[in-house]
Structure 1
């Protein structure tokens, strides 16, 4: 199964999992002086790749541009919490869509 849809869903799941790990790292370092939060990006490149008929991308991580506190850190717990909720919902949606892709294959293999 190497359709564009499969590639997009696979890339999205990988990128969202990477984002979940980064959010966990950010939260774990909320009180670490000088720690700069990381941000995982892949959606824009994924959209471009899908429109080209491929759908395979790697997520990238960059440092957050949010303002720093007096200790030099810039993790905002509210931002991380909202980002985590958004990421979990997107992951569930993509996982359900992937399951639908495999369900169609299973049905076709059974011949019914």
Structure 2
């Protein structure tokens, strides 16, 4: 597909959301692990800046959550993880639909140009 800021930004968003999904799954899997700190994935601010500067490429970063811990030192909150998962799934679906729409537009343009 032809590279554009939009395509690059959507690809970066999908990568970041995929990483967030994996981190949520790991957090939930370790909900009872003593001393485990939840992971948080951030990329939206960097993505916004990358789109503004015209590159669209923004890596996601994984950080340890600074939320309060329980007595066993674990700070995974199932409610937080569930809401984050729902939000992430919806954002991933939206980004996938946008990527598909852009691909269809490029395909139509190429088809019209060759006709």
Residues 1:89 and 2:90 are matched in the alignment: yes
Corresponding residue for residue 7 of structure 2: 6
**What is residue 35 of structure 1 aligned with on the other side?**
36
SS state at 1:48 partner: helix
> Equivalent residue for 1:62?
63
Task: Output the TM-score relative to the length of structure 2.
Answer: 0.95
In the other structure, the counterpart of 1:50 is: 51
C-alpha distance after superposition, 1:58-91 (max 9, x if no partner): 1000000110000000000000000000000000
Structure 2: gaps spanning 5 or more residues: none
CA–CA separation in structure 1 for the residues paired with 2:81 and 2:39: 10
Q: Give the unaligned 5+ runs of structure 1.
A: none
Q: What CA distance in whole angstroms lies between the structure 1 residues aligned with 2:66 and 2:34? A: 16
Structure 1 length-normalised TM: 0.97
Q: CA deviation at 1:108?
A: 1.6
Alpha-carbon RMSD across the aligned residues, in angstroms, is 0.9
Q: How many residues align?
A: 112
Please give the alpha-carbon distance, in whole angstroms, between the structure 1 residues aligned to 2:59 and 2:19: 10
Superposed structure 1 runs of 4+ greater than 2 Å apart = none
